[in-house]
Structure formats: structure tokens, C-alpha cells
Structure 1
Amino acid sequence: MKKVNIGGVPEHFNLAWYLTLKNGDYKREGINLRWHDYAGGTGAMCKALRNKEIDIAVILTEGIIKDVIDGNPSRIVQTFVQTPLIWGIHVANNAPYKTLEDLKGTKAAISRYGSGSHLMAYINAKNNEWNLEKDLDFEIIKNLDGAVEGLTAGKADYFLWEKFTTKPLVDKGTFRRIGNCPSPWPCFVIAVREDFIESNKEDLVTILEIINNTTSKFKDIPNIDNTIADRYEQQLEDVQEWLNLTEWSQNLIDEHTIMNVQKQLYALNIIPRIVDHKKLTFKL
């Protein structure tokens, strides 16, 4: 049986992978798909792809595009979630900040450089017309637990993370959310190491067929809202709002979107150049 390692964030977006694994869908096709949680997010997964610790990553669009341009030998083979990610902008509950303008020039907590939390801090700064050199400062906190510790201790002042994932912390009074920053592109893609694509194309096609079959009918799964609420300790109404806002995809990301992401990252000096979409994607 072919062993395949896949990584993703331990969040509700990836429940479809858990369900297909639990059902034994991949093993029936002779594939031993092993899921690995990356609480550190996109930066940690980029490193894991480079180190060949995983073959496939369900990863933020902007993060993998930046890392492929920086030399990661991987390609995007499909969009996974078509809709934008809604990043909540969070501060410690007892922090003095009330508005986004109050955060200008303060320190953003990021999981690591090149991560979504890092890149979206630039998008937020641009949206609010801040000076990208003077008004941004960063503190590496590794993951959500690190953000709780860092913001509470005052090591950093604000933190961008997916709104619904952090909602339980807002409900508990650990964080306050003072704004949102939607990503201006589809949020998650499926990226695969180039050497894996070359040697395991049939297995990869099978894996995508299985997950796409589930995501295309995901919202119709009986009691899926209750399942998500229980598994991820979320309020039912928050899960229902998230389901209404979220659309999965079964298609390769298009050239226009790839160029739009690159143009915005280039304008923010996050990537050194814009490359042809064929260097970032692979059509199976």
C-alpha cells in the first residue's frame, strides 16, 4: 500500500479530510494517506514540503505562492476553498486598543515569517494606508497557543488569525476582535511536491477525486453543523454562519487569480518578482 503524507491546519476547513480518512476511502484504493496537523500554519507546512516530511499540503494561497517563488519545489494542483479567509484582528482582552488605527506602529504577533499571519498583516496595513516600513513590527509566536501567551504577556499587541477558529477565545474573554481582514483571493489550495507529482500522478488523481467528491456535497452531510461545533468547540450559530460563507472548489486555480495574488504580494515587497502561472501550478 502506497504511503502518502499530507499536512494541514487542525481547523474546520479540513474536516472533509478527516471524514474521508475515517471512512477508509483512500485505503480502499490502495493508498495509506497519513494526515499531519500543522498548528503553526503555512510557514510550518512550507518547511515540511521542502524537507520532504509531507508530500501534499492544504495551504494558504499567498503563503505557498511566496514560497514556491522563493524556491520551494512544489506546485499548486487545485484550489481547495474558493472563498476568502476572514482573518480576525485580535488584541488581548485587557489591551488599551479599541480601533485598527490604535494598532498603527504596534507589534503584530505572527506564527513565523512567510506565514499567513505575517503576509496578512501587510494586507491589513495596506488597507489602512499605513507606512509599511514604519508602522509594522513583528513578534514570532509559532501558533495560536503562542499568540494567547504573547498577547496576554504584552510581547505583541495584535494577532491576525482565522475569525471562526479564534471565536472561542473571544467568547472566553481571552481576546477581543476589533476588526476583520478578508484575504483578497481564494484562501486554501492543495500543493504537492514536484517529485511526488512526477512519480505518483495516478495516486494523486485518486486522492483528489475522493476529497472532491466529499467537498462537493459537504454542506449536505446530515448534521454537519453539529459535528463541526462539537469537534472544534464552536457555537452552533458561528458554524452555521461559517458554512453559509464558505465554498469549496474542485478546480485548478485560474491564471487571473494567480496573477492577482502575485501583483499584490509584489506591491507589498513580499515577493521579489512575478512569475508565469505555469511555474506555480500543475494541471493533472
Structure 2
Amino acid sequence: MTETQKPLRIGFVPEHFSTPLHYAQKYFSLSAELIPFPSGTGHMITSLRAGEIDIGIGLTEGWVAGLGKEGLEGDGGYRIVGTYVETPLCWAISTGHSRTEITSPNSLLTHTKCGVSRIGSGSYIMSFVLSDTLTPSSRSPFTHIPLQTFASLRDGVNNGTADFFMWEHFTSKRYYDNGSIKKIGEIYTPWPSWQIVASTSILPSSPQLEALFTAVNKGIQHFNANAEENIKYISTELDYSEEDAREWLGTVKFAVDVKGVDEKVVQDTVGVLRKAGVLVEGKGLTSQEMVSVKRS
């Protein structure tokens, strides 16, 4: 088997949003090795640049920040090629279950240790968006503590390593329900939440990439038509209750056609990240350079 014939290596976050990808492989002949990245988008960026995966499905702000930062080496390693989820992501703001001194987002102006999965990840970037809502200062009040995984973030806010962290609402909810962490607020991304990227090593064109788009589109169609199957899969194979899976289904809208990216979404994301202090104008790639496949 030649290099070009090898199945695509697809990085994904093993959460409820991955359900259509599972269907694409189970029912629609997606030829791929699905590689879970529970620590999120930032870890996938590292793996794309190391040649360990070919495709990543992750958070919009993570992909854009990874290509927009100053000091970018080489060609950046990947480009944005598709739109996976159209709806914004709700990030829950969490602290330790016994942290009685932390009661609301305003408490974080004085309890400033922010747990993140990795520097540059979605949890890191959203801290700047949160900062922008809390203080008029252009400088974030937070100190960032990289803790790698969701489990380590939960431990960190309970043992004092961090004061708070942000993670997707429904992924966090079961840990509010069992009392291991406490919710003090939430914040939405000001952009559609999930995009697909491809390694520059398989661009600009790849028959495998076209096949991926086709299979994922069919996976999304199956998802949209089979609510009860979704709930069973999410509540038995992933870390969610049936009630939470059912509630989440009412909040999410996947792309009808995942191929291509609306360049304005990337431009708007760059604008917010610059305002939040994550990106600096004139550094890194432009929004036009980040996109390899535009929506027609």
C-alpha cells in the first residue's frame, strides 16, 4: 500500500459532537483511522504539525489562533477546509465544589488562576473572551495553568492548582450533577463552533478529502434523521446521561455540507481574538491564508 492509499488519520474530540463522524465510519464507508484527542484542539495542532494525523475536527477559535500567532514556523502545518458545526458552543465556567469564595464570573477578577488544557487551546482562548466581558482593560487578569485533560482540570479546581476552568456545558454537566465541581457561569463563542482542518501535506487537493466530506455529510444526514439512535449512542458510548443527550440534541446544528469555509467566519474570529489579545495584527497568517477550501 502506498502512502497516498493509507486511510486518513483523523483527530477528533471524543464527545457528543463526534457522533456523525462515528456514523460516517459505521454506515458510509469512511476509510479512516479515528484518533481520539480528549485534551482537545491544541493537542491536535501539535499532532498535525508533527505529521501524526492528517485531519482534525476541532474548535474554530483553536484552529484560527494556531495559524494567526506570531512566530509561526514553516507553513503552519494545516489549513481550514470545512465547517462541521454551525451553532456556537456554550462554555461552562467551573470551580471546585467547596470553593465558597468563588460564586460568579466576577469572583474571577480576584481568583485568577485559570486552568486550561493547553496554551492555545479553546479553553485558553475563551479565557480571553471571558476577560473581555469582565474588565475594560486590554490585559487579561488571568494566569494560565496548563493541565492537559478534562479530568485534570476538574482535579485542579478542587486541589487549588487552579481557581476555575471553562469546558463545554454538556460535557461538564454530569460533574455538577454529582457534586464534584460547581458551575458559576457560562459564555458562548461569538462564532460557529467546529471546523475541519487538513494537513498541508495532503493539500491543495486530495481524493481522500473529497471522500471524507461525502461520508461526513451522510453521517450528519443519518444523525439528523435518527434522534433515538443518537441518544442511545451518546448515553452508552460517551460520557453523558440520556437526559443530557436529549437536551443537547435541541441545541446543535451540524453543517448541511461540511465542504468549505465561510471566510467571514474566520475574519470575525480573528477580529475577536485580536480584541481579546490572543492575536496581534500583522502577525501570523491572514484569515484568507488560513482557508484552503472556501464555501461556494
TM above 0.5, yes or no, is yes
Residue 254 of structure 1, aligned match among 262, 267, 292: 262
In structure 2, list runs of 5 or more residues that go unmatched: none
1:24 Cα deviation (Å)?
6.2
Residue 181 of structure 1, aligned match among 171, 181, 187: 187
Residue matched to 1:142:
148
Matched, 1:220 2:225: yes
Residue matched to 1:52:
51
Question: Would the aligned equivalents of 1:100 and 1:178 in 2 still touch at CA under 8 Å?
Answer: yes
2: CA distance, partners of 1:253 / 1:104: 36
Which amino acid letter does the alignment assign opposite residue 58 of structure 1? I
Which amino acid letter does the alignment assign opposite residue 74 of structure 1? Y
Matched, 1:206 2:211: yes
Matched, 1:40 2:39: yes
2: CA distance, partners of 1:3 / 1:229: 29
Correspondence 1:150-169 to 2 at 5 A: 150-169=156-175
SS of the residue 2:250 aligns to = helix
Normalised by the length of structure 2, the TM-score is: 0.88
Equivalenced residue count is 278
CA offsets, 1:170-225, max 9 Å, x none? 11101111111111101110000112124x61111011111012213413115122
In structure 1, list runs of 5 or more residues that go unmatched: none
1: CA distance, partners of 2:180 / 2:238: 17
2: CA distance, partners of 1:216 / 1:102: 43
SS of the residue 1:114 aligns to = coil
1:36 Cα deviation (Å)?
0.7
Question: Would the aligned equivalents of 1:219 and 1:243 in 2 still touch at CA under 8 Å?
Answer: no
Question: Would the aligned equivalents of 2:8 and 2:33 in 1 still touch at CA under 8 Å?
Answer: yes
Instruction: Report the identity percentage.
Output: 26
CA offsets, 1:23-72, max 9 Å, x none? 3612xxxx3x1011111111100100100100000011111111122432
2: CA distance, partners of 1:253 / 1:283: 6
Question: Would the aligned equivalents of 2:86 and 2:194 in 1 still touch at CA under 8 Å?
Answer: yes
Distance 1:176 1:130, change over 3 A: farther
Residue matched to 2:27:
23
1:19 Cα deviation (Å)?
2.3
Residue matched to 1:95:
99
1: CA distance, partners of 2:206 / 2:288: 17
Which amino acid letter does the alignment assign opposite residue 269 of structure 1? G
Matched, 1:282 2:292: yes
Which amino acid letter does the alignment assign opposite residue 253 of structure 1? V
2: CA distance, partners of 1:99 / 1:269: 23
Matched, 1:273 2:281: yes
Normalised by the length of structure 1, the TM-score is: 0.92
Residue matched to 1:12:
16
Which amino acid letter does the alignment assign opposite residue 128 of structure 1? L
SS of the residue 2:203 aligns to = helix
SS of the residue 1:245 aligns to = coil
Question: Would the aligned equivalents of 2:28 and 2:219 in 1 still touch at CA under 8 Å?
Answer: no
Matched, 1:244 2:254: no
2: CA distance, partners of 1:216 / 1:129: 43
2: CA distance, partners of 1:132 / 1:90: 24
